[in-house]
Amino acid sequence: MEKERLHELFRFSGILPHYQGYEYLEEAVLMAVENPMRLQNIQEGIYLPIARKHHVSQNSVEKALRTVRDSMIKHGGLALFSEISGYQGWTARTPYPKEIICIFADYLTHLS
């Protein structure tokens, strides 16, 4: 159920599934929902497990997440991102991948 909600959020945020980072972002958000403490050390808690699972480097995971973020910005997704986070400043600055993961995870957590 969380996965379906997350895909809907991605769709409304302009995050397109044809990017490799789409799956990484999905996994990262679900990992953060499962254990929010992973966000305190995102490299070890989220990027490393995803990298190991997909047999890529942590840098590749982070780069793919930045690509997805850039797609979100390009397709107007920051408006929804601002709405679900309650912070209108996202339309004025680019969020880091960690912030995107955190806000999607927080939103999913509060839907339950």
Query: Which tens digits make up the pLDDT trace of 72-107?
Result: 888 888 888 888 888 888 778 889 999 999 999 999
d(C-alpha 67, C-alpha 17), whole Å: 12
What are the Cα distances from residue 86, in Å, to 35, 43, 51, 81? 22, 26, 31, 8
Number of domains into which the chain is organized:
1
Contacts of 3 (CB under 8 A, 6+ apart): 26, 30
Query: Which tens digits make up the pLDDT trace of 4-59?
Result: 889 998 988 888 899 889 999 999 999 999 999 999 999 999 999 999 999 999 99
- Residue 60 sits in a domain whose CATH number is 1.10.10.10
d(C-alpha 10, C-alpha 82), whole Å: 13
Contacts of 48 (CB under 8 A, 6+ apart): 58
Q: How many CB atoms lie within 10 A of CB 74?
A: 11
The range of the structural domain enclosing residue 47 comes to: 2-111
